[in-house]
Amino acid sequence: MQTIFGVEVTEFIFWSLFVLLTIGEILVVYVFKLPKENVIRDWVEPAFEAIIIAIVIRTFFIQAFKIPTSSMEDTLLINDQIIANKFIYGTTLPWQKHKVWKFTTPKRGDVIIFRYPNDPRMMFIKRCMGLPGDMLQMKDKVLYINGKKLDEKYTYHKDLRIFPGSYVPRDNWGPIGVPDGFIWAMGDNRDMSSDSRFWGFLPYDNLRGKAWIVYWPPSRWRVIKHEKVDVPEPAGNTAPAKAPAFKAAPVTPN
């Protein structure tokens, strides 16, 4: 994912525009005190008001994202541009960590957008595969949840090799329990995804939205499908009370 001064390119452009329009608004209204009929003020004020509305919308309701890697193939492709519903899992206010106005919680199979736990400046998109209390295990690329073997038609495998868990936690690992307040996230392109297998559990507070539609390119326009993953409910409280530390391991593109 490309960044400028450690900030995503789109975020940098958006907030640079906001700063420039704010300075322009201050100059034309309070410094030079141009009349409302002035052509410069007539351009600056509507643009400033528009970006304020855009900030409110992208903070509380919806936001556009661009897919930078192949980790969600074939569900989402590189350069797909999507819109995410930001309020469905709860809104994150700038001055507090915990979410407010929650409408629902993530379900297994939801395509979720979140801040990368190891670098919150970065946004990742994966599929929610494990909820608090779930026991998960992978055997030779096959995922088991609460003892049930999944037939995952939405997954994609590019690499025919199968690695032992002692070498890298890509194809074989577990069983492992998902603790309270956390989610287990995985990319659909299982052989080329940096996800919970490598960096651990995803804190619920890192969630930023649920993928909604692909709006660009026009040939790819569609509502994003969220799979329904039916598994047995976990037997009792088998998950750890908190997330264990994950050992560093080689990772693949996100």
**Which of 126, 141, 194, 196 is flagged as catalytic?**
126
Rounded to the nearest angstrom, the gap between the alpha carbon of residue 128 and the centroid of all alpha carbons in its chain is: 10
- Taking the C-alpha atoms of residue 221 and residue 81, their distance in angstroms, rounded to an integer, is 9
* Catalytic residue status for 99: no
* Catalytic residue status for 126: yes
- Taking the C-alpha atoms of residue 55 and residue 72, their distance in angstroms, rounded to an integer, is 28
Q: Please count the other Cβ atoms lying within 10 Å of the Cβ belonging to residue 179.
A: 16
**Which of 71, 193, 194, 196 is flagged as catalytic?**
71
Tell me which residues are annotated as active site: 71, 126
